[in-house]
Amino acid sequence: MQNKKLQKNVVCKTKKTKIMDSINQNQEEDNLKNLAGTEALKKMKQIAEETQTCFFCTNIKTGSPLAVRPMQVQKVDDAGCLWFLSSNDSNKDSEIKQDDHVHLLFQESHHSGFLNVYGDAFISADKAKIKELWTPILKAWFTEGEDDPRISVIKVVPSEAYYWDNKHGNAVAFIKQAASAVIGKTYDDSVEGELKV
């Protein structure tokens, strides 16, 4: 009977405070911080712009391998949309036309700045947007420059986003992890949460 009561309290506490697992429960510091609005946009921009590239996943179906390729983010706008330049004859563009759900995975460094974005992709041939997003290095792929007829624009509108980072930089995070290993108590400087842009 007491075991059931204890189990019920754990379930209620988990739902109420969103404690995620036993490792997080051992931390003395709060490491869950959901962000919304301007704060969420700032975090998404920080990680995406620092990282510059992501794994851009299409063909998202249960039981099938994802189609994955690295892509450079050209811009994160003030609405939280992520912008890419692509080739209109690519497998990626073809897959988006079949199913516009995409998954973007970012990793800023070995230890921090992880971002997971799920959303819908929209393809266009908007010449003004191509001009805005164009950088000279892209001529390596689009040999005719910004007027190359193969260029397409992909806009990803996030429907869900989640981040993992640290609170005080990699140096402090390392010191806390080292202290934890010596003391045998969890002092993790990590922070994670949903991003609602």
| 87-144: pLDDT as tens digits | 999 999 999 999 999 999 999 877 778 999 999 999 999 999 999 999 999 999 999 9
- Predicted confidence band of residue 38 (pLDDT cuts 50, 70, 90): very high
Residue 18's contacts (CB-CB under 8 Å, 6 or more residues apart) are 32
Sequence-distant (6+) residues with CB within 8 A of 98 are: 59
What is residue 71's predicted lDDT score, i.e. its pLDDT? Answer: 97
Model pLDDT, residue 16: 36
Domain ranges for the chain: 33-196
Q: What is the largest CA-CA distance in the chain?
A: 74
Kindly state the average pLDDT of the residues 13-37. Answer: 63
In this prediction, residue 1 has a pLDDT band, given cuts at 50, 70 and 90, of very low
Select from 2.10.260.10, 3.90.1300.10, 3.40.920.10, 2.30.110.10 the CATH code of 33-196: 2.30.110.10
Residue 117 — φ and ψ, nearest 5°? Answer: -125, 130
Q: Does the structure show a pLDDT above 80 at 29?
A: no
Q: How far apart are CA 6 and CA 171, in angstroms?
A: 39
- Which positions ≥6 away from 188 have C-beta within 8 Å? 23, 27, 29, 31, 173, 176, 177, 180
